[in-house]
Amino acid sequence: MDVANNKLDEEVCRDARAFVDIFYDTMDRKRDKIGFLYSEQPNLVWNGNPFQGHDSIRSYLQSLPETQHNLTSVDAQKLPGGAGLSESAILVTVAGETILGADQHAFSQTFVLICQDAKYKINSDRFRYLD
Amino acid sequence: MYSRGNFNAPRRGVKQLAKDKSKTYTRIDSDIASNYYNEDDEEPTGRVLPQQNRYLSTQRRNFNAPANRSPPAFVDKKAEMVFKIKVPFGDIKYTTKWIIKQLNQKIDNIKIYLPTVTPRGDLEFIVRDEDTAEAIKAVSRRIIHRETGDRIDFFPRKVPAPWLRLKPEELKTIHEVIDSRFSASNRTLNLENFGADSAFKAKDMDMVLTKNNVILAVVDRIDEKYGNLEVLILSKNRIRYFDYLQSLPSVAKFLKCLDLSHNMITDFSELEKLSGLPLNALNLEGNPGCELISSQSSYISTVQKSFPRVSFLDGAEIQPLVSGLEEEPTLKMPFRAGFYVDDNLRSLIELFVINYFNFYDGENGAVTRKNLVNAYDADNSTFTLSIANLRDIVGVRYHDDECYSSYLRLSHNILREDKFARNRSQRVIKGAMEIAVALSKLPITNHYKESFIVDCFLVTKDLLGFTVHGLFEDGTKTSTVPKLQMFTRTFIVAARGPNSVAAISDSLFISAALPERIARYKALLDKGTSSGSATMADSFNNPAALSTTDAIDGLVLNEDQQKKEQMIAALCQFSGMVVAWSSKCLEDSNWDFEAARKIFIEYKDRIPREAFVVT
């Protein structure tokens, strides 16, 4: 049991790690590509403002000033299959600091990733400043 | 302004603090007028005196303070005290314009007076009230200049104002004259030859606009009453410099037409001090500067450098540099209160969160948390936590070693994966029983529900995902001052048969927090409260959304808890308050419904608006 769980967690952590590396690199340096990371029907709640759908999320994120994210914590869990999401959905929670334009904030962000076309895509994204 | 100690008073929640804070703002705002008053005047009002005494006493203290041994050669005892803010090398490194723009974005209703650049390139400017000075202090080193990566420092210092106070009678007359010259129908304020107004002549007052204190009073009056001004006529006032008009752009945001004809303006580069006014039309005729114009095109470009939208200059049509609507990038959304999608989900989520933390918190957490076995799906549930200090406080030790090590044992921060690569499964707790046991071993806690911000980010047919952000304290109390820490906790819950939901996922993040961050979090909370929750429920146009009415009763509760829920529901219905407030009210009256009802009736006029369900 432990062995299987260890292996599962190793995979989840590896996938989550790879995802956050790509996500924040895209956000900070290749913002024009950010749309590729979202699934077909994603949603975003940004500091309490909801965005629904691929286009509105992409255009909003692209409208934001330049960013730089420094992560402090990343936690990841596999979500149980058969719960309305894809079989291999994972929950990723991130905390860190961001510089947005000239503003600096601590932030917290949560992603629900689902598997689409054999790739992890963001189904749900929640972002909020902590200070 | 905020201190941790404020949390000692059980009923003074964050929202209350927010209200108090706004009260002080109002008080000071309404008293700004009093700053003009001469305390020696025959009829000072009672309201004005304390404020002035405060200024006076501070002034004396400053005299005695060794650090401030060389005050200006003369300090008029009657002078208004203001705050001079210094930004070392602000102008040469970052430009004055950029810094002022940042401050305007960060601080509501900030009025910046007399920005000046010292010979070595420092930016200095004046603000007039203490709250603004405090707010500026709070953003010191929080604004970052992208090109250099520098953090901008602001150093406030209390100084006597470089202008003289007006007597109440003078101020009153100025107001009367301004009011008499405003035409509401075309939003025009005509201050032509202001000093020569018969009202001044009758009282033998010399209130010309070339006097600093008079022009300041005019700008203040515009701010106070005529913020929607479209036309401002300042002709024939012998105006030469605009230093004291520099806050006009932040006050008259709709000004389309400015008449400065027949003044004493010699250098049109002075106009830069008014840049930011959304002018379409400008009249500069009859100024000495007109004689010095070398060419029409350089004249136009000087004007359009500050007012790119001007299409009428001195009555003649010119080609504006920028046309169309103001296109300030307003896409950056405001910081809002929690997002719940709709009221049904809000009730469901609030009920879950309140029940959850009622079991979680308290001295007997080790026992009561075992009840949380009911909050999780029996087999398909996972709990992880991560503890890490945010970057700016990396070296700060958690306030309690014992608490810290019990979190650290479980910490599943994959940025520190090396720490648990060998025993992963011990840090990923699975199944309701295991989770309840693990939770009961964590330090006892007290979560500040009034500090919670909840965002719902996932709604599917079967699942609901939301994150709770907030402040809490943990461990055994060693002092009366609570040591607040920060947490975010993400739950994903699934419908579990009729009338019930259960968590399938729980991910907790904890960070130590210094008082500065707590204060900033509370400031954000205020901001969120004032901008309200997003209401675009249709944005989450999800026909297959969780059937909330089926799940609305939340957790399967024990009998006692069920009774409480019924009481909360009854009080919600009676009072129209949201679940959180009804629950708090009942809690405060020891779950005596009658008592809670009475308390509500007695205090209902004083309960903030956000306590009530929006209808």
B324 belongs to a structural domain: no
Which residues, in sequence order, are CB contacts of B89 under 8 Å at separation 6+? B120, B121, B122
What is the span of the domain harbouring residue B485?
343-556
Q: What local confidence, expressed as pLDDT, does residue B75 receive?
A: 52
B13 belongs to a structural domain: no
- Asked if A9 and B424 touch (Cβ cutoff 8 Å), the reply is yes
Q: What local confidence, expressed as pLDDT, does residue B499 receive?
A: 64
List chain A residues with CB under 8 Å of B427: 9
Calpha distance B362→B42 (Å, rounded): 60
Tell me which of B264, B299, B317 is where a domain ends.
Answer: B317
User: Complex ipTM, two decimals?
Assistant: 0.96
> What CATH number should be reported for the domain holding residue B487?
3.10.450.50
B19 belongs to a structural domain: no
- A-chain residue closest to B341, CA distance: A50
B137 belongs to a structural domain: yes
**Exposure b/e, B447-484, CB count within 10 A at least 16 = b:** bbbbbbbbbbbbbbebbbbbbbbbbbbbbeeeeeebbb
Instruction: Read off the pTM.
Output: 0.61
Residues B391 and B528 in one domain: yes
B14 belongs to a structural domain: no
Residues B277 and B400 in one domain: no
Q: Which of B414, B463, B534 sits opposite A50 (nearest CB)?
A: B534
Which residues, in sequence order, are CB contacts of B17 under 8 Å at separation 6+? B2, B6, B522
Calpha distance B570→B611 (Å, rounded): 16
List chain B residues with CB under 8 Å of A70: 391
Instruction: Count how many domains chain B has.
Output: 4
Residues B481 and B578 in one domain: no
Q: Max CA-CA distance within chain B? A: 91
Residues B349 and B461 in one domain: yes
Residue A28 touches partner B, C-beta closer than 8 Å: no
Q: What local confidence, expressed as pLDDT, does residue A1 receive?
A: 63
Residues B143 and B182 in one domain: no
Q: List the beta bridge partners of residue A126.
A: A45, A110
List chain B residues with CB under 8 Å of A64: 331-332
**Exposure b/e, B524-558, CB count within 10 A at least 16 = b:** bbbbbbebebbeeeebbebeebbebeebbbbbebe
Nearest to A94 by CA among A27, A25, A34, A17: A17
List chain A residues with CB under 8 Å of B458: 43, 112, 123-124
List chain A residues with CB under 8 Å of B101: none
Residues B152 and B104 in one domain: yes
Residues B383 and B444 in one domain: yes
Q: What is the mean pLDDT of each run of 10 residues along chain B (615 residues)?
A: 41 42 39 41 39 38 36 58 94 90 81 91 93 89 86 93 91 95 91 94 93 93 89 95 90 91 93 90 94 88 90 91 56 80 87 93 91 91 93 78 92 92 89 95 93 92 92 82 90 80 94 88 87 60 38 42 76 81 82 84 79 66
Nearest to B482 by CA among B6, B161, B1: B6
CA distances from A10 to A23, A81, B265 (A): 20, 18, 73
> What CATH number should be reported for the domain holding residue B605?
1.10.8.10
Residues B442 and B528 in one domain: yes
List chain A residues with CB under 8 Å of B464: none
- A-chain residue closest to B514, CA distance: A131
B17 belongs to a structural domain: no
> What CATH number should be reported for the domain holding residue B291?
3.80.10.10
Task: Flag if A77 and B382 touch (Cβ within 8 Å).
Answer: yes
Amino acid identity for residue B497 in this structure: G
Residues B87 and B121 in one domain: yes
Q: Which of A72, A102, A131 sits opposite B143 (nearest CB)?
A: A102
Residue A104 touches partner B, C-beta closer than 8 Å: yes
Q: Which residue has the higher pLDDT, A38 or B564?
A: A38
pLDDT of A77-102, one tens digit each? 999 876 567 778 999 999 999 988 88
List chain B residues with CB under 8 Å of A51: 539
Q: Which of A78, A84, A108 sits opposite B460 (nearest CB)?
A: A84
- Give Cα B613 distance to the centre of its chain: 24
Q: Which of residues 37-96 of A touch B (CB under 8 A)?
A: 43-52, 60, 63-66, 70-80, 83-85, 91, 93, 95-96
Q: Which of residues 380-409 of B touch A (CB under 8 A)?
A: 380-382, 384-392
B323 belongs to a structural domain: no
Six token digits for residue B333: 């959304």
- B-chain residue closest to A111, CA distance: B457
pLDDT of A52-67, one tens digit each? 888 889 989 988 888 9
Q: What local confidence, expressed as pLDDT, does residue B332 receive?
A: 61
Residues B497 and B589 in one domain: no
Residues B583 and B544 in one domain: no
List chain A residues with CB under 8 Å of B511: 72-73, 95, 106
B293 belongs to a structural domain: yes
The CATH code that applies to domain A2-129 is 3.10.450.50
Residue B237 touches partner A, C-beta closer than 8 Å: no
Nearest to B414 by CA among A90, A128, A14, A97: A14
Indicate the helix (H) or strand (E) that contains B176. helix B168-180
Q: Where are the beta strands (DSSP E) in B315-402?
A: 316-317, 382-387
Q: Which of A17, A85, A91 sits opposite B507 (nearest CB)?
A: A91
Nearest to B523 by CA among B128, B111, B137: B137
Runs of H (alpha helix) within chain A: 2-29, 54-63
Task: Flag if A106 and B517 touch (Cβ within 8 Å).
Answer: yes
Residues B371 and B452 in one domain: yes
Residue B375, phi then psi, degrees to nearest 5: -85, -15
